[in-house]
Amino acid sequence: MIEWGKKQKAWKRLGYGIGVWGFTISVQYLIVFGLHDITIHPEDNTTAKSVSYESLARIGWSIALTMQIFACQAGLGGWINTCLSWKGLLPFSRLTYGVYLLHFGLATALITQLRHPFYYQTDFEVIVIYIGILAISYAASVLLYLFVEQPIMFLERITYRKH
C-alpha cells in the first residue's frame, strides 16, 4: 500500500477522499445515465451530443476507475477498499478472465437457439437467461482453469525452478 495517505493530516485525507470519490462517482454517473434524456426525448438528440458522448465516455470511465484504484492504494478507499480486498472474492478473481473469454460465445450460442426473437422476452425470462449464462460461464471457466491454466502453471514451476 502506498503510504501517502497515512502521512497526511486527517482533515486533508478526508478532503482528498471526498474530492476524488465525489468526482469519480459523478463522472461514472454521468456516463451511465448521460443518454437518459435522449432515450425519453429522441428529438432533442443532436450530432454534437452523440459525438461528444461517444468520444468521451470510455476514456472518462477509464480515468475515473483509475483514480478510484489509486485512491484505494493511497489509503483513501475506506469501506470500498475493505469490500474489494475481502479474501472471499479471491476464487472469483482467478476465474474472471475465463468468464470474460467464454461468456460472449456462450451467450451467442444460447440466444441463437431461442425459438422466438430475444426482444420479445419478459423481464423474468431475461433474468433467468442472465443467471443461466453467468452460471454456465463460471462452470466453463472452472474447467478452463483446471485443464488449461493449472497445468501450464505447473509446467512453468517445473521449468523455471530456482536451482
For residues 141 and 98, is the Cβ–Cβ distance under 8 A?
Answer: yes
Model pTM above 0.75: no
One domain for residues 61 and 96 = no
The label of the residue with cell 486527517 reads 10
Q: Tens digit of pLDDT for each residue in 105-135?
A: 999 998 888 887 777 778 888 898 899 999 9
What is the domain extent for residue 133? 87-159
The count of structural domains within the chain is: 2
Summarised one tens digit per residue, pLDDT across range 56-77 is 999 999 999 999 999 999 888 8
The last residue of a domain, from among 84, 117, 149: 84
* Torsion angle of C-alpha atoms 149, 154, 157, 158, degrees rounded to 10: -140
What is the spatial distance between Cα 71 and Cα 2, in angstroms, rounded to a whole number?
10
